[in-house]
C-alpha cells in the first residue's frame, strides 16, 4: 500500500510584478510527494525550484492554485497559522547553519523546544538525544566556533529533528562543505530518512548530492521538467 500523500501542488502558479513586468516563477505546477520520501529538487537559477521550496516550507503561498500539506490548503491559512504549522510539523536546514554563535551545541538544539514551551529538563534530554542521533556525543557543550563546518551542520540537523517533524526541508545543506563532509552529511540524512521514516525535501544544484535521494525533480522555466525515481525505489 502506498504511503499517504504529504504534499500536493494542484496547478500552482507563483507570479511577481504586474503587466508586462509580470514574471511567473511557477507556471501551473502539479506535484505530489508521499510521506517517507527523500526528494531532491534541482534546476538552474530562475527555474522555480527555490520558489517551490518556499511554498513547500509554508514560507510563501501560491498566487493561483492549491498547495496542500497533510491535506490542509496552506493558502487559506493566515500568517500566524502558517507559522504554527511550520513550528509543529516542519524542520529546516540551511546552507549557512544559522547557529547562535555564543551558545553551545545543546542550547542551539533546544531552541525549537523553547518556542514550544517544553520544560528545561525535558528540553535538555531531547537535545542530547538528537545530538547523539547525528553523531555528536561529547560535543554538546562546544560552541559553533569550536566545531568544524560538518559538525556545525550536524548541530543544525539535530536542531531540525529534535521536534520530530513530519517534513525536513533542506536548502543546499552541503553548499559550504568539502566533498568528504558532504558525503558524511548526506549519509546522515539518508539514514534519518531510512531509520526514522523522516520525509525530506532538499534543494541542491549538485548531482552527486541528489543521488542520495530516492527521487529527483528537476524544474525548468517554472515547470517540472522531469520527475525521476531511483531504480530501487521504483522496483
**pLDDT for 66-85, tens place per residue?**
999 999 999 899 999 999 99
What are the angstrom distances between the C-alpha of 14 and each of 54, 56, 61, 189, 202? 11, 13, 8, 29, 20
pLDDT, residue 233, reads: 58
Does the structure show a pLDDT above 60 at 166?
yes
- Residue 92 predicted with pLDDT over 80: yes
pLDDT at 175 over 90: no
Provide the pLDDT confidence category of residue 224 given band limits of 50, 70 and 90: very high
Can you list the domains of the chain with their CATH numbers? 5-234 (3.40.50.300)
How far, in whole angstroms, is CA 82 from its chain's centroid?
Answer: 16
Q: What pLDDT, on a 0 to 100 scale, did the predictor assign at position 96?
A: 87
Is the predicted pLDDT of residue 56 greater than 60, yes or no?
A: yes
The predicted model scores a pTM of: 0.92
- Distances 56 to 8, 98, 105, 139 between C-alpha atoms, Å: 9, 20, 28, 32
Q: C-alpha angle with apex 44: 41 to 49, nearest 5 degrees?
A: 40
Tell me what the mean pLDDT of segment 109-126 comes to: 94
If you count them, how many residues does the chain have? 235
| Residue 3 pLDDT exceeds 60 | yes
% the chain with pLDDT above 90: 86
For residue 1, what pLDDT is reported?
62
pLDDT of residue 115: 86
Amino acid at each position: 500500500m502506498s504511503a499517504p500523500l504529504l504534499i500536493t501542488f494542484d496547478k500552482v502558479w507563483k507570479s511577481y510584478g504586474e503587466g508586462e513586468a509580470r514574471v511567473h516563477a511557477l507556471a501551473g505546477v502539479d506535484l505530489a510527494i508521499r510521506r517517507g520520501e527523500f526528494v531532491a529538487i534541482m534546476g538552474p537559477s530562475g527555474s522555480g525550484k527555490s520558489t517551490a521550496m518556499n511554498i513547500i516550507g509554508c514560507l510563501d503561498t501560491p498566487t493561483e492554485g492549491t498547495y496542500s500539506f497533510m491535506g490542509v490548503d496552506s493558502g487559506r491559512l493566515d500568517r500566524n497559522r502558517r507559522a504554527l504549522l511550520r513550528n509543529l510539523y516542519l524542520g529546516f536546514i540551511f546552507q549557512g547553519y544559522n547557529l547562535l554563535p555564543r551558545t553551545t551545541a545543546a542550547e542551539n538544539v533546544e531552541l525549537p523546544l523553547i518556542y514550544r514551551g517544553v520544560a528545561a529538563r525535558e528540553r535538555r534530554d531531547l537535545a542530547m538525544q538528537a545530538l547523539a542521533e547525528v553523531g555528536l556525543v561529547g560535543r554538546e557543550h562546544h560552541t559553533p566556533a569550536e566545531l568544524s563546518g560538518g559538525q556545525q551542520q550536524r548541530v543544525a540537523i539535530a536542531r531540525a529533528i529534535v521536534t520530530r517533524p513530519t517534513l525536513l526541508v533542506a536548502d543546499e545543506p552541503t553548499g559550504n562543505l568539502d566533498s568528504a563532509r558532504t558525503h558524511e552529511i548526506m549519509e546522515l540524512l539518508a539514514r534519518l530518512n531510512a531509520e526514522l521514516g523522516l520525509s525530506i525535501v532538499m534543494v541542491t544544484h549538485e548531482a552527486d548530492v541528489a543521488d542520495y535521494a530516492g527521487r529527483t525533480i528537476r524544474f525548468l522555466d517554472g515547470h517540472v521538467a522531469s520527475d525521476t525515481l531511483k531504480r530501487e525505489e521504483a522496483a
